[in-house]
Amino acid sequence: MTKTLLCLGFGYSARALARHLSRDGWRVIGTTRNLGEATPLDGVELINWPGAQISLEEVSHILSSVGPTEQGDPVLAELAEDLAQAKHLQWVGYLSTTAVYGDHDGAWVDETTPVTPSSQRGRWRAGAEHAWQTIPDLPLHIFRLAGIYGPGRGPFAKLMAGKARRIVKPGQVFSRIHVEDIAQVLAASIARPSPGAIYNLCDDDPAPPQDVLGFAAELLGLPVPAEVPFDEAGMTPMARSFYGENKRVQNQRIKDELGVELQYPTYREGLRAVRAAENLEAFTPPQETTGV
C-alpha cells in the first residue's frame, strides 16, 4: 500500500507535517470545512468534510487534530465504527493538549502524571482521549501539545501594532512548542510506531509569558512593553482560563523513545526562526511629523 496520510482537520500542525511527508513521496489527504476558503498546499489533496464520504481503505496513517466539543469528539461521532474496522491502519495520531494535566502550581508533569483537568477545554480533551483509547486494536498515539507558535502565529504582529501587553502573574510559566518541532516528532513517531504511546510535545524551557514577549520586542528593536498585573489586565474569560493552570511540562520521552533532538529547544531559538521566516527586520516605528 502506498503510504497515505489522512489529516482529519488540516490545520496549522497538520500542514507542517504534510510538508515533511509530501517531500518524501507520501500521499497526503486533508479535510477542511470550507474547501473554497482553504489554502492549498502542494502535493496535498483537500476534501470537504464533514460532507464528502471518507473511505479508509486506501489510508495507511491518520492524524486527527479536530477539537472536541461538549458533545464529544466530532471525528469519532462520524468515523468510530470505520476506525474500529480498519485493521490495516499502521499509525493513528491524536493531537491533544497539556491542559489535560490541569494545574500543578508550577511543578513538573510528565506522561505518567494523572489526568486531572481543571478547565473546560481540558476536560473535553481528556474525554476525547479516552474515547479514542476505547477503540479496540487501534494503533493510537496521543500527543499532548503545549502552546503552539511558529511563522504566522507568534507575538511579532501585536508588538508592531502596539497591542502587545506583558501580563504578569507571579510564578506563572507556560510551556510551548514550535510547529516544526511538532512535525518532526510526529514524523519520528510514524517512523517508529508504538501503539498506546502518549507523548508530551513541548520545548526545554517553560518560561513566564512576559519574558517571551520581552525577548520578542528586543528582536525587533522595539521598547519592551510595560508590565501589567494579571488582576488589572481585564482579560476575557478564555484568556484568564489559560492563567488558571501553571505547570512545567517534561519532554524527555520524545527524546528517549523517538530520538528527537529539538530544532528549537527554547523560545529564543524559536522566535529568531519565526522572525527570519516572516522576513522581519528590526522594526522602526514611523516618525511623527508636525505641520508648518
- In this prediction, residue 33 carries a pLDDT of 80
- In this prediction, residue 41 carries a pLDDT of 75
Reading the block at residue 244, the C-alpha cell is: 488558571
User: What's the number of CA atoms in the CB half-sphere (13 Å) around residue 172?
Assistant: 17
- In this prediction, residue 286 carries a pLDDT of 41
DSSP 8-state code for residue 145: E
- In this prediction, residue 291 carries a pLDDT of 35
- In this prediction, residue 117 carries a pLDDT of 95
Averaged pLDDT, groups of 10, the chain, 292 residues long: 89 94 89 73 84 88 96 95 96 98 97 95 96 97 97 91 92 97 98 97 97 96 93 86 93 98 98 92 44 32
H helices then E strands: how many in the chain? 9, 13
Cell numbers 517508529: residue: 192
The whole-angstrom separation of Cα 85 and Cα 106 is 42
- In this prediction, residue 279 carries a pLDDT of 87
- In this prediction, residue 34 carries a pLDDT of 74
- In this prediction, residue 289 carries a pLDDT of 34
Reading the block at residue 111, the C-alpha cell is: 506522561
The whole-angstrom separation of Cα 286 and Cα 284 is 6
The whole-angstrom separation of Cα 151 and Cα 271 is 9
| Contact residues for 189 (Cβ-Cβ < 8 A; gap 6+) | 91, 93, 141, 143, 197, 199, 258
Please say whether the beta carbons of 60 and 75 come within 8 A: no
- What angle (nearest 5°) sits at the alpha carbon of residue 99, between those of residues 94 and 103? 155
- In this prediction, residue 197 carries a pLDDT of 98
- In this prediction, residue 49 carries a pLDDT of 85
Reading the block at residue 67, the C-alpha cell is: 477539537
Ordered structural domains, the chain, with CATH: 4-277 (3.40.50.720)
